[in-house]
Amino acid sequence: QSVLTQPPSASGTPGQRVTISCSGSSSNIGSNYVYWYQQLPGTAPKLLIYSNNQRPSGVPDRFSGSKSGTSASLAISGLRSEDEADYYCAAWDDSLSGVVFGGGTKLTVL
């Protein structure tokens, strides 16, 4: 059971906009930055969003992050086949004094 809660799956057709939610608590999302990672099949995770809504260099602006209270969301617009991957949210947890991850959301591009 993950500390952060994500839907196990999401899907969309090419060109669509999809959102992935991440729910936490006051000790993690509510008081710390949220990060999003993309993991393509068979590869290491890649940092997609940092500090709630910032994109590292090279990440397309089709990807955006937001946070409100104890929840966060990742939005992907103009969905492409290469976006098919697992997506994880993460945050520092003050109570656990460690990093917590969501269980991951498998995105399928139909």
32 binds another protein (CB under 8 A): yes
Determine the interface stretch with another protein among 18-26, 63-71, 74-82, 99-107 (rule: CB under 8 A).
99-107
Tokens of 51: 């500090």
89 dihedral zone (left: phi>0; alpha: psi -120 to 50; beta): beta
What distance in Å separates the CA atoms of residue 100 and residue 47, rounded to the nearest whole number?
15
47 binds another protein (CB under 8 A): yes
40 binds another protein (CB under 8 A): no
Least distance in Å: CB of 13 to another protein?
Answer: 26
